[in-house]
Homo-oligomer: A and B are copies of this chain.
Amino acid sequence: MAADTAYANLWPDGLCAVAVDVALLTVREGRLQVLVAKGDTPPFTSLWSLPGRRVGADESLDATAHRALAELAKVSAPDAHMEQLYTYGDPHRDPHDRIVSVAYLALTPVTDTLHLPAHATFLPVDTVLSDAGPALAYDHRQIVADAVERARAKLEYSSLATAFVTEPFTLAELRRVYEAVWGVSLDEANFRRKVVHTPGFVVEVSGVTRPGPEGGRPARRYKPGGASLLHPAMLRP
């Protein structure tokens, strides 16, 4: 949310400012994390906030969401899964003005090439959502909570988990995504059986991975199988 001008509290004739805020989730160091930046509008200059932009005059909401990411973190559109999450319209969610915010959920794989500006960082979502966590500007903690719940739910019945990994990936990598997002540990063998028995979830590709320095059997490699909905679903334990 970047209100770059001071407006009166009420817009003329029922108009509102419309902004897009993006909750970008990724898995780093085995934890689900969210991208935040230091706000640029008082009184929230010292708080973390989600990247956001005002909707352009001839710009779609999706385009604004992609722009919000691209301008902050050079995350290009095809790299990130992007879906609309929820629209926050409480009249007093912004202490200055009436701003309706259309929140988006974005997912990216762990990419070391993602270079962030100095005023942006990733925070673990369990830190952000805990009572002891840092305060976020506006209602952005609620947006993060809703984004995390959306991601957790969609891992069950969709192939969304593949948006957290780069192609090709191993089943162990995919399992670690589920474990990080859900915050549980999963049985390797049962996970593997469910994934490969769900039509269209993953497709094996040629080649195997090189084992780590401590050895281990090389892992087969997979790519997304094209299905977006899973039958049967991968239910949370």
Contacts and interface: CB of A to CB of B under 8 A. Distances in A.
A58 interface: yes
Q: Please give the count of copies of this chain that the complex contains.
A: 2
Given A84-B86, A86-B84, A102-B87, A11 B61 contact: no
Interface in A124-162: none
A190 interface: no
Nearest to A53: B14
A13 B18 contact: no
Interface in A50-73: 54-61
A192 B11 CA distance: 54
A98 to B, nearest CB: 7
Interface string A105-130: 00000000000000000000000000
Contacts of A12: 12
B18 A16 contact: yes
Q: How large is the interface on A (under 10, 10 to 19, 20 to 34, 35 or more residues)?
A: 20 to 34
Interface string A76-117: 000000001011011100000010101000000000000000
A144 to B, nearest CB: 18
Interface in A1-55: 5, 7, 10-18, 54-55
24 contacts: A5-B13, A11-B15, A11-B57, A12-B12, A14-B54, A14-B56, A15-B15, A15-B18, A16-B16, A16-B17, A18-B89, A18-B100, A55-B89, A55-B100, A57-B98, A58-B91, A58-B98, A60-B89, A60-B90, A60-B91, A61-B87, A61-B100, A84-B86, A84-B87
